[in-house]
Chain A
Amino acid sequence: QVQLQESGPGLVKPSETLSLTCTVSGDSINFYYWSWIRQPPGKGLEWIGSIYYGGDTHYKPSLKSRVTISVDTSKSQFSLRLSSVTAADTAIYYCARHGGVYGNAPFDYWGQGTLVTVYS
């Protein structure tokens, strides 16, 4: 059974960089795509970006200037960095697995999510 676990600071100050890591267990990180998805409290889901195990990345255009996603296959981990955060970046951050970035590529496994609060 594939398991994903997010980790990282739960509090970040405005203008600083949010950093999260997702650790994958139960299956190889290879041959899949991995995404970060967030959900502000009481609101809907927002896709942030994805990375292929080989390193190819895709980002939501409106966040692209602030987002970096990286992968470390040796540790079965992928990471998110979101710079210059504001209160609008307060959300539950999920990591998820999928098989592609077009066509039929559902998010079939999700982490439990981690709440990141931007506070001043």
Chain B
Amino acid sequence: SYDLTQPPSVSVSPGHTASITCSGDNLGNKFVCWYQQKPGQPPVLVIHEDAKRPSGIPERFSGSNSGNTATLTISGTQAMDEADYYCQAWDSSAGVFGGGTRLTVL
């Protein structure tokens, strides 16, 4: 089965840039999505097609994907960005999620 690996946690100071990685075999050959999940809420799509932002998602959220690693970058991180983040891709018609990264803004 295909696996996506994320760091369990990332910390960032307010106003600084946070980067969350997602690794998988030849991940650059797939499209990656990123979801934000706050406590008690369902996930929200923040990036799709590696780097595209859905309507309503702030410009400080960006994404990239190359080689074996996709990266979600949050520029000028705000306290409201503190959440769990999951990467996701499709492999052989099966959905695959990374294990999730807890972003702490402190």
Contacts and interface: CB of A to CB of B under 8 A. Distances in A.
Interface of A: 35, 37, 44-47, 50, 58-62, 94, 100-108, 110-113
A102 B93 contact: yes
B106 interface: no
A107 B94 contact: no
B42 A106 contact: no
Interface of B: 1, 30-31, 33, 35, 37, 42-45, 48-49, 54, 86, 88, 90, 93-100
Across the A-B interface, give the 10 residue pairs with the lowest CB-CB distance, nearest first: A47-B95, A106-B48, A110-B42, A101-B93, A104-B31, A106-B33, A44-B100, A104-B49, A45-B97, A58-B93
B43 A47 contact: no
B94 A61 contact: yes
Given A44-B86, A62-B1, A104 B95 contact: no
Which of A45, A58, A61, A104 has the most chain B CB atoms inside 10 A of its CB? A45
A94 to B, nearest CB: 6
B92 to A, nearest CB: 8
Contacts of A37: 95, 97
A92 to B, nearest CB: 9
Contacts of B98: 44
Contact of A108 (B1, B31, B54): B54
A113 B42 contact: yes
Pick the most buried of A44, A108, A113: most chain B CB atoms within 10 A of its CB. Answer: A44
